[in-house]
Amino acid sequence: MMPATHGNAGQNNAIICLGCWDQMHVPIPIRGPLALPFRAFGITRSKMNPNICERAFRYVKKQNHVTSNATILFADIRGFTTLSERMDPVRLSNLVRIFHDRCAQAIWAHDGIVNKQMGDGLMAIFNFPIRIADHASAAIMAARDIQEHCTEALDSLKSNLDGLPDHLLGVGVGIHTGDVEIGEFSSFRSDFTAIGGAVNLAARLESQAGVGEILISPATAALATELAAGTEARMLQLKGIEHQVAAQVLLKR
Ligand SMILES: [Zn+2]
């Protein structure tokens, strides 16, 4: 019998790769004594999520790319340009490190992967390669954890920044759920990612999120009714998107 792969969200301690199990039903040991011989053959834990191995994406590589329903999350440090003008580079890099560290912990706790890190921002995917029944809610819960944990960390830095307005130092998050193409879209480097209109919409929402805000699309809100209940709606005209989008705004707790 295989151990249950899920139900232990929040702990980075899976014994077998959750990605390989969900995608191919292959048990690949990634922790414990059984993992040692596998490690000798180069099977290592992925930097995108410590509960999966780097081979979890092999399933996709074989098929070139796959279409998957997924929830995409973008987060970044708001006002980063202003910050970078006021902070010395060492302190600034410390802040970015704290941001990425807190975000990754929150995303992994809800079985997502940190797919890309871009300076002061990142992109996460929920529902691939680890399957999540309610990936819209998982992404929202990760976003809440991001806001909570980043605020704690950033507040401790604030005292060092003379006269920095409150609305400048914080994190914005955008979330959207839809079909995406998952695969490697580069012929010269290994660059597994998700592409498609759904990814763009999540990125656009994030660009409109203020400090402490989580903007979720109507599609995500419709799937995560409990978490979206009672939240403020905000009409947004997003770049490259014809119609206005009624985003739901979740605020930092
Ligand atoms: Zn794996």
pLDDT tens column, 215-231: 999 999 999 999 999 99
104: closest CA among 59, 62, 46? Answer: 46
End-to-end CA distance of the chain: give it in Å, rounded: 41
Token pair belonging to 128: 């691939």
Please give the average per-residue pLDDT across 173-189, as a whole number. 90
Q: Which of 24-28, 151-155, 176-180, 235-239 has the lowest mean pLDDT?
A: 151-155
Report the separation in Å between the CA atom of 36 and the middle of ligand 1, taken as the mean of its atom positions: 14
Q: Is the pLDDT of residue 147 over 80?
A: yes
Report the separation in Å between the CA atom of 28 and the middle of ligand 1, taken as the mean of its atom positions: 6
Report the separation in Å between the CA atom of 2 and the middle of ligand 1, taken as the mean of its atom positions: 15
DSSP 252: P
Residue 39's pLDDT band, with cuts at 50, 70 and 90, is confident
Q: Tell me which fold the domain 66-251 belongs to.
A: Alpha-Beta Plaits (3.30.70)
How many residues would you count in the chain? 253
Question: Residue 6 has what pLDDT?
Answer: 53
How far lies 50's CA from each of 11, 79, 113, 174, in Å?
10, 30, 9, 24
Report the separation in Å between the CA atom of 62 and the middle of ligand 1, taken as the mean of its atom positions: 14
Q: Where are the domains of the chain?
A: 18-63, 66-251
**Claim: this prediction has a pTM higher than 0.85:** yes
What stretch of H or E contains 87?
none
Report the separation in Å between the CA atom of 135 and the middle of ligand 1, taken as the mean of its atom positions: 20
How far lies 183's CA from each of 87, 175, 186, 196, in Å?
38, 20, 9, 11
